[in-house]
Amino acid sequence: MKTLPVERNGGKTQHLGNLRNLSAKLGNEQFRVDARTSRYKLQNAAKTLLPGWAVDYCMEAAIPGRSVEIWQDADSDHAHIKGVARCGSVWTCPVCSAKIAIERRDEIAEALKMAKKAGYRPVMVTLTAAHSRDMSAAELVEKMTTAKRWMRNHGSFKNIKSMMGFQGSISSMEVTWGYANGWHFHFHEVFVVSKINGAAELKGAFFSLWERALSRVGLIANYERGVDVIVPRPDDYERVGNYIAKWGLESELSRGDAKEGKEGGHYSPYQLLAMYEQGTDWAGGLFQEYARATKGKTSIRWSRGLRDVLGLSKELTDKEAAEAQASENSYMLLRLTRAEYKKIIYSGRRGVLGELLAVAEVGRDALLLWLESVFDIMPDG
């Protein structure tokens, strides 16, 4: 870890170039710049839609007793901000969600690595249901959550676990919306097991129980789509982490491009947010509905005892995952006072923090030039 020195000349920063040169450099890397700024523009949109929610305050203030620091990773050139409070919301914050998803993916990859070493295998199961277009997000998520709880507490589920040699599971929930059928929910499960079963055999067992669970809450599912079971080959284990932790990892989260990112006529919540940010007001209403339906829900759940079985450390909360530190090969570019950071935050520039990070990834001199030219800020450290 190292801190680069600030070069001064008569109280003014020595710049290697000028704003025109900086603009040219950023123009040559426009895709990366757009990816950086779009995520923060989406965060601004979420703040507008959800006033008073945690996301509304995300990254707007320094942590008490700490200064705001801009850091860069020496290996990837990726820049990040330290010392600011984050909301840690996987459901409503595009910035925190992306960071959390990466942390979860890496953690699950490590879990599956340990499982493989212990002789266990993953089985991937997806559960969903048919529903009417006019069903609200809150009603659908409540019904499906109730059905899943009933299924897992039923005696027949114990038989399925015994059949698989169940060691534990990791669960997540995926939400999409489509013009044809409205809201759509999937439960993704990874079961860590000791016995090898065929996918068809497991699907039959799961569907029989899932169909009964859904009927208790007034929902139905067909055999083809209601349950999907995949028994991955050992060389496909790396895909499992993306499968279960993909929330926030979709490419549209980097682009903010809802039209390009749609899949089969379905939109993720962050695609809806991107549509709102681009001027589609009704998509903002759907994002608000989704936010209310998922508020307080756990994004990824580990079954009791699985982490101990695999020898993993205590699980990070979503907020801790959002605030996780970068690699040891990172160094501080500069330090901002609280007043300087506030000046940037409240400048009225949409996605300004993404813009700051994109400039920082060009280099320290570029960042100093940008801060002085745009905000009349000349950091001391």
From the list 337, 378, 357, 344, the residue with the least C-alpha distance to 14 is 378
Exposed/middle/buried for residue 29 (C-beta within 10 Å: 0-12, 13-18, 19+):
middle
Output the six-digit token pair for 367: 């960042």
pLDDT in tens, 285-302: 999 999 999 999 988 899
35 has a pLDDT exceeding 90:
no
Q: How confident is the model at residue 265 (pLDDT cuts 50, 70, 90)?
A: confident
The more confidently predicted of residues 320 and 279 is: 279
Cα first-last separation, the chain? 16
5 has a pLDDT exceeding 60:
no
pLDDT of residue 120: 93
Distance CA(188)–CA(171), nearest Å, equals: 6
26 has a pLDDT exceeding 80:
no
pLDDT in tens, 181-236: 899 999 999 999 999 778 899 999 999 999 999 999 999 999 999 999 988 877 77
Instruction: Give the DSSP letter string of 241-310.
Output: HHHHH-TTTSHHHHH--HHHH-BTTEE-HHHHHHHHHTT-HHHHHHHHHHHHHHTT--SEEEPTTHHHHH
pLDDT in tens, 336-357: 999 999 999 999 888 899 999 9
Q: Which residue has the tokens 């609280």?
A: 338
pLDDT in tens, 356-381: 999 999 889 889 999 998 899 888 76
Instruction: Give the H/E segment covering residue 33.
Output: helix 30-49
Domain residue extents for the chain: 8-86+325-375, 103-252+261-268+296-322
For residues 33-62, average pLDDT: 91
